[in-house]
Amino acid sequence: MKRYALIGRRLGHSYSQQWFGELFARLGLADHRYDLHEMDSLAALHPWVEHEGIAGFNVTVPYKQEVIAYLDTLDETAMAVGAVNCVTVEHGRLVGHNTDAPAFRRSLEATGWKPRRALILGTGGAAHAVALALNELSIHYIYISRTTETKTDEVSLLEVASYEQIPLLCSQKGTLIVNATPVGMFPDEESSPIPVIDFPLSYVYDLTYNPSPTRLMRDALAAGAEVKDGMEMLHLQAEMSWQLFQQATDTVF
């Protein structure tokens, strides 16, 4: 039996088990299994991997950054992002990867949008993955955080701005807003990281996939923006994880 899993604190919302279950059924891999494994801390990570014979696992909230301390090595993307959402077990060593960044990049490229710059809402692991992808695409970005002090001058020089500055920052046509916060996600569906949109908007990419559309996406559409949800990215990061799991298996034999 080849065992894979998703670890996180609360996983009731997760689509991963269904996604991998359907993949294994499609490929006729009856000896493959993908479980959801809730953990209140990562202290038992190593014993769990060893005793359960885990071949690879995905990592979600809140452990994408904390898990790094438990791994033997990181690939280049995980190192650049500073967050891990996929771990392969290679000759007993735990190797951290980040498939959120390439998945976001590929799904953004698929839109055909031509953003001139981006505002990334949030400063967590997903926000850093988005930043790496934007960097690779040469799209200048600014983080938007709740904890930065508002500065009203030299806006273009700021790398971290406040939510109050969003209307001013959006006055430049072609601005892309990426929601990399959990705000608006089930069950908090009527919340939006930008509760009032009374300014022009070009593009909004909401990493949320449940619900879709989010309130942010609906408000942005009403303000004339093109919008996209996080479902394609979710599928792409899972596909990329599966490729890494297979490559890791291939190196063992």
Nearer to ligand NAP, 170 or 233 (CB): 233
Nearer to ligand NAP, 175 or 181 (CB): 181
Using CB under 6 A, list all residues that contact ligand NAP: 61, 64, 100, 122-127, 145-147, 180-183, 185, 193, 207-209, 230, 233-234, 237
What's the min distance (Å) between Cβ of 170 and ligand NAP? 18
Nearer to ligand NAP, 88 or 208 (CB): 208
Assess whether 151 carries a catalytic annotation: no
β-strand pairing of 117-121 with 175-179: parallel
Ranked by CB distance to ligand NAP, the top (closest) residue is 124
Q: How far apart are CA 179 and CA 163, in angstroms?
A: 12
The active-site residue out of 64, 114, 151, 173 is: 64
What's the min distance (Å) between Cβ of 50 and ligand NAP? 27
Within 10 A of 31 (CB to CB), how many other CB atoms are there?
9
Nearer to ligand NAP, 147 or 251 (CB): 147
What's the min distance (Å) between Cβ of 243 and ligand NAP? 16
What's the min distance (Å) between Cβ of 30 and ligand NAP? 28
**Which residues are catalytically annotated?**
64
